[in-house]
Structure 1
Amino acid sequence: MMEKILDSGIHDMAAMAFEKHRLRTFKTWPFNNSCNCSTKNMAEAGFYLIASEDSEADAVECFYCGKQLDGWEDSDDPWKEHYKHASYCDFAKLKKPEIQLTVEEFLNLYHNALKNRINKIIDAKIVEAQNHHQDVLKKYKRDYKKIKN
């Protein structure tokens, strides 16, 4: 059961910890490579593209902290924007592309990112279970009242 719960986001996060995988997500990125927010700079700053039919064409998410941003402009610096909107993000705090990270820094980031994602998934499943429990309880109370009357 726990494997199924964790499968719902861990594999994607694990892949997105690597810049080369993040870079591959920017196939439909609306900015060209001469902009500050080029695909290379976006991936380097920890972002991968999450744009869909239901979101902005420039919607991105940080592999580490999960911060989602959109509304990019040509002159936006991905590192500055990342830190400005998510100063709590350990990856943004380092302000180092993957190539400059020590093995220890990378492994610490990777470990903490996995831990954060697992906690987020478990918290969401707990809320889902609590909501289901409340729905079942309401149904039983309604049924009890019908039987009692």
Structure 2
Amino acid sequence: MELLLREIKAASEGMSGFKEMYSYENRLKTFAEWPFKENGRCTPENMAKAGFIHCPNASDPDVGKSTLDVAKCFFCLTELEGWEPDHDPWLEHTKRSKDTCGFLTLSKNVDDLTVEEYYHLEKERVKIFLCKAVRSVINSFEKEVAATRKRLVDHFVKKYQYAPELEKPS
């Protein structure tokens, strides 16, 4: 249960912080430690223009290694790593966004959006964020249920020599 609560807390903290990333300057600031500073297409400036923020080590905490080239779209949350200097951030973002990214479909600068357009975009961004957070919480819950079931079965097998029946497929 503690894991679930941490997932929910992290999701709520992240949701408000990502709102500030509509600003190109705020996205650019996240690339202070980006490994490809020049001589290529995926410079910090180009990454930020394509909607990415730099999130080192965000990809897989279970791997236990430092991943410095992880970037995530602040809007659709598409997370990419394995960047090469010649990768085009716009092209990679477009190819790998599972759903249409509202940021990619903007026909004008964020500063030129009407209030109505901004709130429509923000509604879509929050919807994407909440869906991802809920999926993460559900996955954590399912892992916790499986671990609890295993502990219970192990306990009954050990204490009562209980042999669980093979589960029948539905």
Same fold per superposition (TM over 0.5): yes
Structure 2 segments unaligned to the other structure (5+ residues): 58-64, 162-170
Amino acid at match of 2:73: C
> What is the aligned-residue identity percentage?
29
**TM-score (norm. length: structure 2):** 0.69
Counterpart residue number, 1:124:
136
* Corresponding residue of 1:65: 76
CA distance in 2, matches of 1:120, 1:24: 25
Distance 1:3-1:59 versus aligned 2 partners, 3 A rule: closer
Shift of 1:35: 5.1
Q: Which amino acid aligns with 1:121?
A: A
- Supply the AA of the counterpart residue of 2:95: K
**CA deviation profile, 1:123-145 (whole Å, cap 9, x unmatched):** 11111112111211221122122
Segment of structure 1 superposing worse, 87-96 or 107-116: 87-96
Is the 1:45–1:95 contact (alpha carbons within 8 Å) kept by the matching residues of 2?
A: no
Q: Give the number of equivalent residue pairs.
A: 146
Q: Output the CA distance in 2 between the equivalents of 1:58 and 1:3.
A: 26
Aligned to 2:100, which of 76, 88, 107? Answer: 88
The corresponding residue for 1:138 is 150
2:56–2:71 CA contact under 8 A, matched in 1 = yes
Distance 2:127 2:17 in 1: 14
Residue type at the aligned position of 1:21? N
Q: Could you list the runs of 5+ residues in structure 1 that have no partner in the other structure? A: none
Structure 1 letter corresponding to 2:37: F
1:40: which partner in 2? 45
- For 2:159 and 2:42, the matched residues in 1 are separated by 64
Contact 1:83/1:93 (CA < 8 Å) preserved in 2? no
Summarize deviations over 1:101-141 as a string: whole Å, max 9, x none. Answer: 33333222222111211221121111111211121122112
| 76-85 or 133-142, larger mean C-alpha shift | 76-85
